[in-house]
């Protein structure tokens, strides 16, 4: 079991954690103060490196995201070094209904996306 607490964000912002799975291993990414409806880069919780700096030359195999309670992950984007969007994944608000995910806002496995130097992982969230 892994526990990584984050402080609650203020009004108009969100906090997020993501397990990023690559061919080189698994790494925790985190961000606090993600402004509403604004694509914001999320970096390694251990050394604050970007996705491309940390995993250049490997493959993105999966992503598991949890946003602050009551907040919504609009989307997660993989962005290349030129600012072009490589992939967009649609997130959600965690449910409180039985039979639906109340743990993750987004969970994706089975990817095989080569990661380039300077690539970023961006999240867009809302606090409603």
The model carries a pTM of: 0.90
Q: Which two tokens stand for residue 45?
A: 């919780």
| pLDDT for the residue 1 | 60
**Structural domain includes residue 6:** no
**Structural domain includes residue 1:** no
| pLDDT for the residue 123 | 98
Tally the domains of the chain: 1
- Range(s) of the domain holding residue 54: 13-126
**Structural domain includes residue 3:** no
| pLDDT for the residue 101 | 61
**Structural domain includes residue 40:** yes
Q: What is the mean predicted confidence (pLDDT) over 84-98?
A: 87
Q: Map residue 54 onto helix, strand or coil.
A: helix
| pLDDT for the residue 38 | 97
**DSSP state, 36?**
B
Per-residue confidence band for 99, with pLDDT thresholds at 50, 70 and 90: low
């Amino acid at each position: 079991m892994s526990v990584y607490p984050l402080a609650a964000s203020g009004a108009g912002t969100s906090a997020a954690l993501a397990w990023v799975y690559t061919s080189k291993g698994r790494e925790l990414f985190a961000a606090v103060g993600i402004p509403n409806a604004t694509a914001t880069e999320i970096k390694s919780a251990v050394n604050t490196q970007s996705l491309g700096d940390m995993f250049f030359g490997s493959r993105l195999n999966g992503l598991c995201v949890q946003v602050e309670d009551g907040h919504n992950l609009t989307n997660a984007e993989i962005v290349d070094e030129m600012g072009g969007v490589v992939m967009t994944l649609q997130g959600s608000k965690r449910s409180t209904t039985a039979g639906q995910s109340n743990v993750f806002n987004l969970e994706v496995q089975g990817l095989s996306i080569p990661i380039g130097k300077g690539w970023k992982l961006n999240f867009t969230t809302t606090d409603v």
